[in-house]
Copies of this chain bind each other. A is one copy, B any other.
Amino acid sequence: MKSIQAVSYPVHFQEKAYESLSNLIVQKNYSTIFILVDENTFEHCYPKFISKLITDKAIEVIEIESGEINKNLETCIGVWNAITELGGDRKSLLITLGGGVITDLGGFVASCFKRGIDFVNIPTTLLSMVDASVGGKTGVDLGVLKNQIGLFANPEMVLVDTDYLTTVSEREIKSGTAEIIKYGITYDIKLFNQIKENKGLQIADLIFRSIEIKNEVVLQDPKEKSLRKILNFGHTLGHAIESFYLESEDKENLTHGEAIAIGMVCESYISNKLLGFKIKKVNEVKNVILSIYDKTTLLKEDFGSIIDLLKHDKKNVNGQVNFVLLNDFENHQLDCKVAEELIIESMEFYNS
């Protein structure tokens, strides 16, 4: 599979990618190599990784606890202290091996350590492969607010090896699928139809196409001033729902994809009401999503808390929530204001 050239770094695929990484390490002559893992990727991915990498440099493993709940500044402080104690300097390299928590947090840690050291991302979940491989977003949560603290910072390269997907659960694969559906709906209806028809899909091809799309979008608008906002389709309400479940102690958490899937159904409904996005297409989105994800009934008494969380969305300006909505498949409208009543109605539509 050929490589994709992102804004300022390449995304390499499969076997060839390890060769590129080994070469990078020789060229840059790093003083120390750190690899950031969690207990799962250390057990299931690290053995493969280390058997493929050719280097005579020592590799120091830094392990953090898995889970979104640990994507915070306390964890960063732990990693910064570990790098310091292990003798990290400005010529060190940090490799991240894991899902979005590891790649987002690791990129942030590297970018702030002694005002920035190099990092390489190796996403091991479908979500992090299709979502975090390009775009340069790094960050951690502040309380329940997702990615509230972070930076735009580019890795030296990204290594995508679909073999790592054999180590993750069905539920995690589905979480990543929601992002692929998003690329389909907003940018490439053929991709959406492939998922809808679910015939002979090659996961590697879906990943490649998703990264290609995200890269096209990000290259045109790296700092999310306009076009890039389409990548937030389903995410405005989806993030609020995800945060709400994360902070509700009596409710099981949703995966990112499960929350975003609900968000896409709701925001398609809102698009129908505000922009005339055809109701037949709204139902098509809903059906595809309900064919993949179990329905999570949103409780009426929770609507208020979810709407409160919307007010902290990073895209808001002057307290006004901004939605990306659809005129049609592949045709979006930015910065749409939506009345609270309609947001509630959209959640009732999802429930119905």
List B contacts of A112 (CB < 8 A): 112, 139, 149-151
Asked if A194 is at the interface (CB within 8 A of a chain B CB), the reply is no
Stretch among A113-121, A181-189, A244-252, A297-305 lining the B interface: A113-121
Q: 5 closest Cβ contacts across the A-B interface? A: A114-B314, A31-B318, A91-B317, A112-B149, A115-B150
The answer to whether A80 and B315 have CB atoms under 8 Å apart is no
Distance in angstroms between the alpha carbons of A314 and B113 in the assembled complex: 9
Any B CB within 8 A of the CB of A137: yes
With a CB–CB cut-off of 8 A, which chain B residues contact A80? 142, 148-149
**Can you name 19 extra interface pairs (CB under 8 A) apart from A84-B142, A114-B314?**
A31-B317, A73-B76, A73-B77, A80-B148, A87-B319, A89-B314, A89-B318, A91-B317, A91-B318, A112-B112, A112-B139, A112-B150, A113-B148, A113-B149, A114-B150, A115-B137, A115-B139, A116-B151, A151-B151
Interface string of A139-150 (1 = CB under 8 A from B): 100110101111
The complex is assembled from copies of this chain, and their number is 2
Q: Is A90 an interface residue (CB 8 A)?
A: yes
Assembly CA distance A76 to B80 (angstroms): 15
Q: Measuring CB to CB, which residues of chain A are less than 8 angstroms from any residue of chain B?
A: 31, 73, 76-77, 80-81, 84, 87, 89-91, 111-116, 137, 139, 142-143, 145, 147-152, 312, 314-319
Q: Which residues of B contact A137 (CB under 8 A)?
A: 115
When distances are taken between beta carbons in the complex, the residues of chain B under 8 Å from A31 are 317-318
Check B84 against A145 for contact (C-beta < 8 Å).
yes
Q: Which of B81, B152, B316 contacts A115 (CB 8 A)?
A: B152
A149 nearest CB neighbor, chain B only:
B112
Residues of B within 8 A of A111 (CB): 151
Q: Which residues of the partner chain B approach A319 to less than 8 Å between Cβ atoms?
A: 87, 89
Q: Which of A76, A90, A152 has the most CB of B within 10 A?
A: A90
Bound Cα distance A84, B312 (Å): 8
Q: Give chain B residues whose Cβ lies under 8 Å from the Cβ of A150.
A: 112, 114-115
A182 to chain B, nearest CB (A): 20
- Decide if A151 touches B84 in the complex (CB within 8 Å): no
Q: How far is the CB of A308 from chain B (nearest CB, A)?
A: 13
Interface centre among A89, A150, A316 (most CB of B within 10 A): A89
Chain B residues within an 8 Å CB radius of A314:
89-90, 114-115
Contacts of A147 in B (CB 8 A): 115
A sample of 23 inter-chain contacts (CB < 8 A) reads A31-B317, A73-B77, A80-B142, A81-B143, A84-B145, A84-B148, A89-B314, A90-B317, A91-B317, A91-B318, A112-B112, A112-B149, A112-B150, A113-B148, A113-B149, A114-B148, A114-B314, A115-B137, A115-B139, A115-B147, A115-B150, A115-B314, A116-B152
User: In the bound complex, what is the Cα–Cα distance between A80 and B314 (angstroms)?
Assistant: 13
Give the distance to chain B from A307, nearest Cβ to Cβ, in Å: 16
Complex Cα distance A148/B117, Å?
12
